[in-house]
Amino acid sequence: MNPITATNVTVAYHRKPVLQSINFEAPEGKLIGIIGPNGAGKSTLLKSILGLVPKASGEVNIYGKAYRKQRQKVGYVPQRGSVDWDFPTNALDVVLMGRYGQIGMFRRVKKKDRREAMSCLEKVGMDQYANRQISQLSGGQQQRVFLARALAQNAQVYFMDEPFVGVDAATEKAIIQLLSELKDQGKTVLVVHHDLQTVRDYFDWIMLLNVRKIAFGPTAETFKKDLLQKTYGGKLTLLDQEEEQGVTTLA
């Protein structure tokens, strides 16, 4: 069964549609990039799937059922800028929050949960910061803690909103390693992504989005100049310049 099925999803802010009639079926066990210009609706697509913004119409199913029935199967790494980092909590507690689906809101956190959470922090190289307040971590370290929280959830489908923004090369590598481990475990990961240069290396499939779905398919067939032109419009001249400089190679 497909991990995500979106049917006719339309979202409007103040009556202005920012996503229009989006249909897609995401294949299982793939790393999927969502690509498109600023304001294309990429974050809104993730939020509408997770029920964080209301849909004007349409429906999304996770493994055939509404999201509210499948919460435990879904992990979300929000955009770093959208999180209140002054919230007084330490890194380990943030990761433990990821386990509440399994612990149950009103049951006590057991040693096993702490061990699991610590091992997730270890996987992202943050175990030595377990007791540090999250406001006292660097941007890249905060991002790693959020990834650890998603790991602790042990979900089947992950949504990540620009996880590579503002992180150093080592963190970017760590995230990519983690994504490929999730994929090896048969999990499906949707990632909002900006850097066109890395699309081909990072993703098996991509969605090109600009209010409407322009294309969705295997990267080799979809990361094409004509489709990118349709997605980015006039802004693609910038890509052409990069191509001339040998920075981006478009098929």
Ligand X SMILES: Nc1ncnc2c1ncn2[C@@H]1O[C@H](COP(=O)(O)OP(=O)(O)OP(=O)(O)O)[C@@H](O)[C@H]1O
Interaction site with ligand X (CB under 6 A): 13, 18, 36, 38-44
Among the listed residues 35, 79, 3, 32, the one whose alpha carbon sits nearest the alpha carbon of residue 202: 32
Please say which residue, 170 or 238, places its beta carbon nearer to ligand X.
Answer: 238
- In the numeric block, the tokens 């990761």 are attached to 95
- Find the shortest distance in angstroms from Cβ 250 to ligand X: 20
Please say which residue, 44 or 188, places its beta carbon nearer to ligand X.
Answer: 44
Please say which residue, 47 or 99, places its beta carbon nearer to ligand X.
Answer: 47
Please say which residue, 103 or 165, places its beta carbon nearer to ligand X.
Answer: 165
State the distance between the two ends of the chain, measured CA to CA, in whole angstroms.
32
Q: What residue type is 54 in one-letter code? A: P
Q: What is the rounded distance in angstroms from the CA atom of residue 145 to the CA atom of residue 134?
A: 9
Q: What is the rounded distance in angstroms from the CA atom of residue 76 to the CA atom of residue 163?
A: 11
- Find the shortest distance in angstroms from Cβ 20 to ligand X: 12
Please say which residue, 38 or 131, places its beta carbon nearer to ligand X.
Answer: 38
And the tokens for 84?
């209140």
Q: How does strand 57-62 pair with strand 31-35?
A: unpaired
- Find the shortest distance in angstroms from Cβ 18 to ligand X: 4
- Find the shortest distance in angstroms from Cβ 57 to ligand X: 17
- In the numeric block, the tokens 């929280």 are attached to 149
- Find the shortest distance in angstroms from Cβ 200 to ligand X: 20
Q: What is the rounded distance in angstroms from the CA atom of residue 157 to the CA atom of residue 124?
A: 19
Cα distances (Å, whole numbers) of residue 237 to 34, 184, 230, 231: 21, 37, 12, 12
Please say which residue, 14 or 111, places its beta carbon nearer to ligand X.
Answer: 14
Q: What is the rounded distance in angstroms from the CA atom of residue 74 to the CA atom of residue 59?
A: 16
- Find the shortest distance in angstroms from Cβ 196 to ligand X: 12
